[in-house]
Amino acid sequence: MPIVPGELPRPDAAALEHSEHVAAHIRHAIGQADGAIPFSEYMRLALYAPGLGYYRAGAEKFGAAGDFVTAPEVSPLFGQTVARQIGETLALCEGDTVLELGAGSGRLALDVLRTLASENRLPQRYLILEPSAELAARQRDLLAGEPELAARVQWLNRLPEKPVRGVIFANEVADALPVERFRRDDDGVCRLGVGIEDDCFAVRKLDADGAVEERVRTLAERYDWGAVYESEFCPELAPWIQALAGALDRGMILMFDYGLPEREYYHRQRDMGTLLCHYRHRAHEDPFLWPGLCDITAWVNFSALARAGEEAGLEVGGYTSQANFLVGGGIGEAIEQARDERERLRLAGEIKRLVLPSEMGEVFKAIALTRDCAPPSAFAFHNIAARL
């Protein structure tokens, strides 16, 4: 998600009016909760309140006209490379199903399906679990352009009841799960919730229950924090991974996201956490600004993700940077097959955006959690799972 620095452009009147509706909805929830809600509840409402939240209303979101650019929106080479690894895994586990979580604009699904078709490795079913009806409609529209591929796609509202054999995968979904913020200082540990002050949203200190306090104290001791430390954790991450593990009979869960191993995530110097908001390709740090118009995200704790998978009986088949996954998966071969110099240059530019450390290559990671199945070949190139 490369970001353009600089001042935020101002939303138009219609967008501001929509944001005011979202804010009124959240204010109502705060009123119902006697003056404050946990940050995770604020984030859930700002992103997912039906008909209002960022992912549930009409915001453009992806691509040049939106707020951020995800890897599949940068180049079809991302989906093509991922598809070849999915194809390998389908063969390794004798799988018949691919399940994509949070398919966004549908671009990644289209690139993956096209590539699997060209390699004669189309799965029997390509399932998409997309909680946003608005995005599911966009995905249907995009895939309708290729009826033969679209015929294999089914949209789900929940995970399949019968565990699948094949690949479950997601790009930039874990970072969109609501997080809980906390602070540890001389007064102890508290959760940072959201209340109202002078008619604006404001941070409120809330009591940390026993489990949160214990969790934060353990982290503080392990990572030797300074006097004041603020960060976040994602309460939904482990249950989500465990539910996905329960939906996988044999094969692989493959995830891409920006994030870090726990010891780097909770490093003493990262004392303001990882929360970040996006509006029109600018990053900002104010989650209360224009609710419903800005994306709100937090980095993924990949150690916690891996632990949740292991507790659910999966193996960590591989963990590496997006750059190493793509290079190991053969993204460079596209350049060798380019028709002419012009195409070669264009592809080289796209690959640079996906793999350079200053772009998406280092901050984004790939992780494979496997069940009764070897990881695909991209992880043989560079696997740093031992750092988790």
Ligand X SMILES: C[S@@+](CC[C@H](N)C(=O)[O-])C[C@H]1O[C@@H](n2cnc3c(N)ncnc32)[C@H](O)[C@@H]1O
Q: Of 11-19, 167-175, 226-234, 320-328, which segment contacts ligand X by CB under 6 A?
A: 167-175
Give me the least distance between CB of 109 and ligand X, in Å please: 9
CA angle 58, 158, 257 (to 5 degrees): 65
Give me the least distance between CB of 349 and ligand X, in Å please: 19
Q: Strands 300-301, 248-260: parallel, antiparallel or unpaired by DSSP?
A: parallel
Give me the least distance between CB of 69 and ligand X, in Å please: 9
Give me the least distance between CB of 61 and ligand X, in Å please: 7
Report the amino acid identity of residue 322: Q
Number of other residues whose CB lies within 10 A of the CB of residue 124: 11
Task: Tell me the per-residue interface mask from 205 to 244 with ligand X, x by CB under 6 A, - otherwise.
Answer: ----------------------------------------
State yes or no: residue 258 binds ligand X (CB under 6 A). Answer: no
Which lies closer to ligand X via its Cβ, residue 104 or residue 328?
Answer: 104
- Provide the CA 294 distance to its chain's centre, in angstroms: 15
Which lies closer to ligand X via its Cβ, residue 55 or residue 319?
Answer: 55
CA distance 86 to 256: 13
Which lies closer to ligand X via its Cβ, residue 142 or residue 203?
Answer: 142
Place of tokens 């692989």: 252
State yes or no: residue 176 binds ligand X (CB under 6 A). Answer: yes
Residues 96-125 that bind ligand X (CB under 6 A): 101-104, 108
Which lies closer to ligand X via its Cβ, residue 22 or residue 101?
Answer: 101
Q: Choose among 13, 99, 105: nearest CA to 68.
A: 105
Which lies closer to ligand X via its Cβ, residue 100 or residue 262?
Answer: 100
State yes or no: residue 40 binds ligand X (CB under 6 A). Answer: no
How many residues of this chain interact with ligand X, rule: CB under 6 A?
Answer: 19
Residues 131-160 that bind ligand X (CB under 6 A): 131-132, 135
In this chain, which of 172, 180, 262, 315 binds ligand X, going by CB under 6 A? 172
Which lies closer to ligand X via its Cβ, residue 216 or residue 296?
Answer: 296
**Token reading at 223:** 């990572």
Q: Of 84-92, 168-176, 331-339, 368-376, which segment contacts ligand X by CB under 6 A?
A: 168-176
**Token reading at 258:** 């920006």
Residues 47-86 that bind ligand X (CB under 6 A): 55, 62, 70, 72-73
Which lies closer to ligand X via its Cβ, residue 109 or residue 116?
Answer: 109
In this chain, which of 49, 129, 208, 347 binds ligand X, going by CB under 6 A? 129
Place of tokens 């709100």: 296
Give me the least distance between CB of 282 and ligand X, in Å please: 16
Report the amino acid identity of residue 180: E
In this chain, which of 173, 190, 298, 368 binds ligand X, going by CB under 6 A? 173
Give me the least distance between CB of 257 and ligand X, in Å please: 9
Give me the least distance between CB of 174 and ligand X, in Å please: 9
Which lies closer to ligand X via its Cβ, residue 106 or residue 376?
Answer: 106
Place of tokens 């740093």: 384
Which lies closer to ligand X via its Cβ, residue 233 or residue 266?
Answer: 233
Judge whether 106 and 143 are in contact, CB under 8 Å: yes
Q: Of 3-11, 165-173, 193-201, 271-279, which segment contacts ligand X by CB under 6 A?
A: 165-173
Which lies closer to ligand X via its Cβ, residue 131 or residue 344?
Answer: 131
**Interacting residue ranges for ligand X, rule: CB under 6 A:** 55, 62, 70, 72-73, 101-104, 108, 129-132, 135, 171-173, 176
